[in-house]
Each structure stands twice: as structure tokens, then as C-alpha cells.
A and B are shown apart, each in its own frame.
Chain A
């Protein structure tokens, strides 16, 4: 894994004083699922090899919930992505586990059905389904297993797009996703799965959609960082602090809905804006956020905005090339310096 800040361990200020336990991001995802499954018998999970939990987050779920609620599927993404839609349409609350890169195989069901049914049928369809997209990249998996595809789903509409970056958010956003009445895609960043953080024990703890988290307050430059870019942005802020530059780091946490106000308010305060996004640069989440800032906060800006996104290439297998692709702490530092002139 290409991580600049292996000691990333941040506590969400919004959570307050609750009882916390340090947990791994991956474990926090699983806790969120288990808690919701205990509360609501309509929740079930299906996917490839979920009973064995080959991706980790589903560990222990099959033992606890058994055959009827943890379902191993055939390798048929289009089939079971759509089956989740149908089950949701008649009142169930399915969770589907998949990899970001396998979502392409089931795109018709995600786009033509999950995303569009409610609108196309005038609000008659309610589809409380969660697609858990494990997002591996940075580990030498080459182009077929390294997608960061959330911007595609922001563009489609009708899908809520969730990109947790801390263990606490992994749990809290997962619980909100399961309780939500719309189709949600949880992008579970592979570079964060083994990170640790304080996670509230309270089963009523949730993190709302559409509320960004100001991870570090600052006055000189605003950095919005998405998913796996968050630790790099915090690392960059730490370095810049030593140079006397105060950086505000914002994690939007959900891209649909997007908390524009927190971002715009911050830009209003700092006048300088950098966005870091592990997605490929063209039409990235960063592109959309920059577009919003330029439309709505242009006169607040004191310098051109800077985008630190992945290079617009397919992911090469060899580490010598792959390491050149993604946003890094140093890349963010460079961008921050550009905004300072």
C-alpha cells in the first residue's frame, strides 16, 4: 500500500465524548453491518464469497446470521445487483458486497434499475439497497482491480455516494446507508481498510449523509480530501504547520449528497483551495467540487485552485509506475504552496 501517513488515527470532533474503542476501519464496517442486522430482520447481505468474508469486513457475520441472511452468490454481478433491487422494491433491505472493479459487470442494473427506478416511476419505487464496493488500488493489482469509480456514479444521479475515510465514519456511515431508503454505494477504500481509529461503541451512533467533517481547522488554505487522500492531506497540513501555514482539511464523507456549505465557508475564510482525489483526474469528484467553488466562491479566491488527483492513466502493475499515479502528501504540499504563490 502506498501510504505516506501510516499513523493516521483521527477522532471525529462531531462525535464528542462517547465511549470509544480503537478499531480497524475494516472491523468498523463489519460492526456497522452487524448492528443493523441485529436491529432489522429485513437486512440481509449477499455477494461472492461473503460467507468466508474474503475481503474481511464481513468476518463473523455468517456465524451470527446464518444461511438466510448471508448469501453466497454465483459470479453474476448483473444478476445479483438487480436481484437486490427487486428484493428492495418489495420491502427488503439488501446489502451487496462487491469490488469497485466488478461493478462494471453489473452496470446495467446499477444504472438502469437501482439509480433510475424511483424517478422513472414517479416515486413509486423505494429501493433501500447498499452496494459495498471494496476499492482496492495501490497494491500492484493492475488496471482490472484498481478502480476508483465514484465520480461515475456521482454523474449518474439517483445513487448516494459515500466515501468514508476514518474508522468511525466507516461504521457510522455504514449504519446510515443501511437505514437510508435510497440506493447507496459505499466505497470502501482499500488503502484505509487496515488503518485504525477510535470508534464509538454506542449502537445508536450514526454519521449523517451530507455533513462534511472538518478534520483540522486552519486559516490559510482549504484542502478538501476524499477517501484515501485524507491521511495524505492531514500529513501535508502537519508539514505546512511547521512552515507556519495553517491548513484546513475537510473530508466531505459523502459525495452525493455533498456538503457544499462547509467547503464554501472554508474557502470564504482561507481564499485558497486545493482538492485531493484518488480518482482519475478527468471528471473526477475533484473536478465537480472545483466547479462548485468556481461558480459559487470565485471572488473569495486569492489564487488559482489546485487539483491533486490521480494521473489520467490506467493503473500499471509495476510499482515503479504505479507509485507515480496517486495523490501523495508531497503532491498536496506542492499544490498548497502553489496557492500561496
Chain B
């Protein structure tokens, strides 16, 4: 991991990765205490969202999926509002109406996180269409998994984006399992990125544990998109360190993946890899990196307290937001 990326960007990426990690470690603790339900953890995949979002501007858009605590945080979302949303409180991003799978913060360019696998892919494609039609110059990126890559919505969107040269990045986070099913059993090509050929766009396979590689690949794709050269499919090969969701502990890991495989991937923890790169290159010290982690930890603790103290929405919220203006709903 050698790079010309500035220290500011490297430290920002480390900070955002730690925010995501601590956020989800906290959620695990809260789950064990009965405070939250069975959310989908992103632990192990942080480099993908953070590397990609660091290569984008605030005015660019992203869309996520059911495993998307990481994407809004990577894009700059507020931890307090995110935590409050997961707890179903009024101060959450969606006033408690979305929850863990829909942590959207539209103010930082997030078009929503979709609980239906692959469903946000056409939406992100449409944002790119708007950019093109009005020469706005922004790009959009959508994060989806190996499972989603088999959905028609993905294929339709990639074809549409390519025929119209839309400035959209299809970022497939191949964490290798759709719940318990290996992508090797469901994807007909060796690499999901190979599918780009069918849509006449570049398909790039990236080490999804390496945030610097992710940043660089995304930067190139963003540049192409802004130049009017159309979409890119990026496959980030990564790994879900935890089970599909908290509470699925009844499904033993060994029933669909070997413990040794999990252990091997844990050796390539994206936070360790980035920290080592920063320290080895003399960009910053281990103590600097530890301080970033400690700060992120404190922010997450503060967010959890904020969320716990935020009230649940009252009955007056029930019908609000069904439509843009109030109208009788039968």
C-alpha cells in the first residue's frame, strides 16, 4: 500500500472507518443488551464505502442497501441521527420511520438505502440521468452486494447507464455470501466485474480490504463519469466478518463457511491495513492513529446516549410524510 494520496485524505478515511467500526461494535453491544434488533453489520467491509466516498464530492450522490450503516457514515452522516434512527427515535434521520436498513441522509447526497436487494440501483442510475440531462457534473454511485448482482434491476440499470453514457458508478461489494449462499454457486462468471463487458463498460476488480486501492479505483471511475465517458462497474472483493445479521447465531458459521476462512480474512482487517500503511510510510504515528480511533469511539458513545434520550415519535407522526402535502388518507 504505497500511495500519493494526501495525509488529509488518509486520516479522514481512517477516521470514517473507525466511526463505522465503533458504531457497529456499539450496536453489537446494544443488541446483546436487548436495545436494538438484528441489524446487518458491515464490519470487515469498511474500506469499500470509505474509499469510494472519499473519492467523491459532497455534491455527488450515493445509494446503499440493507447493509448500509457504513455508507452514510462514509459520506459524512451525523452519528447521533444515525443511531437515533436505528433506535426508532424522533431525532433519527427518518424520524424513526426507516430504521437500520434505511439510514438516509439526503443532506449529504444520500438517495436512500434499500431493504430490497438491488432496488436502489435503478434509483442511483436515475440521479445520474438527471446530472447528464442538465449538465450538472455530479456523479452517483450505488453500493450493492454479490447477491444483488444477480437481480434484473442491476442488469437493466447497467445497460441503461451504458447506452446513455450516464455518470454512475456501480460498486459491487462482493462479500462472498448472500446470507449463507456463496457467490461461487450463484454467479456464472469468475468475477462479477467480468459482467461489465456485456454492458460495454470498464469492469474493475479491486481489493476491497485496501481502502487506498478503493479510493484510487473510484477516483478513476469518477473522472471517467465526469468526462462524459459513462459508467464503471467496480467489484470490491471483500468479506463479511460477522454473520448476515445479528441474531442469526443459530446458523453456525461452519454450516456455510469454514471458521478458518473467516479467520484468514480477519487477518486482512481493513483498519489494520490502513493503519500499517500510514505508520510505515511515516505519514502519522501509531499514537495519532490510536487517537483517531479513541475520538471515534467517544463520538459513538455520545451518539448512543443521544439516541437513548431522544423520544419515540408520537401518534401525530403516523400519517405524516405519506405525501408531500397533507391530504385526507381515507
Chain A residues at the B interface, C-beta cutoff of 8 Å:
44, 68-69, 71, 73-74, 76, 78-92, 94, 108-109, 112-113, 117-126, 157-158, 160, 180-182, 209-210, 257-258, 260, 288, 292
Chain B residues at the A interface, C-beta cutoff of 8 Å:
61, 63, 92-98, 102, 104-106, 111-112, 114-116, 119-131, 133-134, 140, 152-153, 156-157, 159-160, 163-164, 320-325, 327-330
Q: What are some 7 contacts across the A-B interface (CB < 8 A)?
A: A78-B152, A83-B122, A83-B123, A92-B129, A113-B114, A121-B102, A124-B105
| Most chain A beta-carbon neighbours within 10 Å: one of B95, B129, B327 | B129
* CB proximity of B112 to chain A, nearest CB, Å: 6
Q: Which residue of B lies closest to A124 (CB)?
A: B106
**Alpha-carbon distance A89/B159, docked complex (angstroms):** 21
**Alpha-carbon distance A118/B320, docked complex (angstroms):** 10
Known: A84-B126, A89-B127. A79 touches B104 (CB 8 A): no
Q: Which residues on the B side are within 8 Å of A94 (C-beta)?
A: 126
Q: Which residues on the A side are within 8 Å of B127 (C-beta)?
A: 86-87, 89-90
Known: A82-B119, A113-B114. A257 touches B130 (CB 8 A): no
CB pair B133–A181 under 8 Å, yes or no, is no
CB pair B111–A89 under 8 Å, yes or no, is yes
The residue that B116 contacts in the complex, of A108, A182, A260, with Cβ under 8 A, is A108
Q: Which residues on the A side are within 8 Å of B153 (C-beta)?
A: 78-79, 82, 108-109
Given contacts A79-B159, A292-B330, 7 further A-B contacts (CB under 8 A): A76-B156, A83-B160, A89-B112, A90-B61, A122-B321, A125-B111, A180-B324
The residue that B323 contacts in the complex, of A91, A120, A160, with Cβ under 8 A, is A160
CB pair A122–B121 under 8 Å, yes or no, is no
Q: Which residue of A lies closest to B94 (CB)?
A: A122
CB pair B116–A257 under 8 Å, yes or no, is no
The residue that A87 contacts in the complex, of B92, B102, B114, B129, with Cβ under 8 A, is B129
Q: Which residues on the A side are within 8 Å of B119 (C-beta)?
A: 82, 108-109, 112-113
**Alpha-carbon distance A292/B157, docked complex (angstroms):** 41
* CB proximity of B151 to chain A, nearest CB, Å: 9
CB pair B159–A82 under 8 Å, yes or no, is no
**Alpha-carbon distance A44/B133, docked complex (angstroms):** 9
The residue that B126 contacts in the complex, of A88, A157, A180, A260, with Cβ under 8 A, is A88
| Most chain B beta-carbon neighbours within 10 Å: one of A44, A81, A86 | A86
* CB proximity of B146 to chain A, nearest CB, Å: 19
* CB proximity of B200 to chain A, nearest CB, Å: 13
CB pair A157–B61 under 8 Å, yes or no, is no
| Most chain B beta-carbon neighbours within 10 Å: one of A68, A79, A123 | A79
CB pair B320–A82 under 8 Å, yes or no, is no
Known: A76-B159, A122-B92, A122-B94. A112 touches B114 (CB 8 A): yes
**Alpha-carbon distance A25/B328, docked complex (angstroms):** 29
CB pair B112–A87 under 8 Å, yes or no, is no
Q: Which residues on the B side are within 8 Å of A157 (C-beta)?
A: 322, 329
* CB proximity of A111 to chain B, nearest CB, Å: 9
Q: Which residue of A lies closest to B131 (CB)?
A: A90
Q: Which residue of B lies closest to A113 (CB)?
A: B123
Q: Which residue of B lies closest to A88 (CB)?
A: B126
**Alpha-carbon distance A121/B329, docked complex (angstroms):** 19
Known: A68-B133, A120-B98. A82 touches B126 (CB 8 A): yes
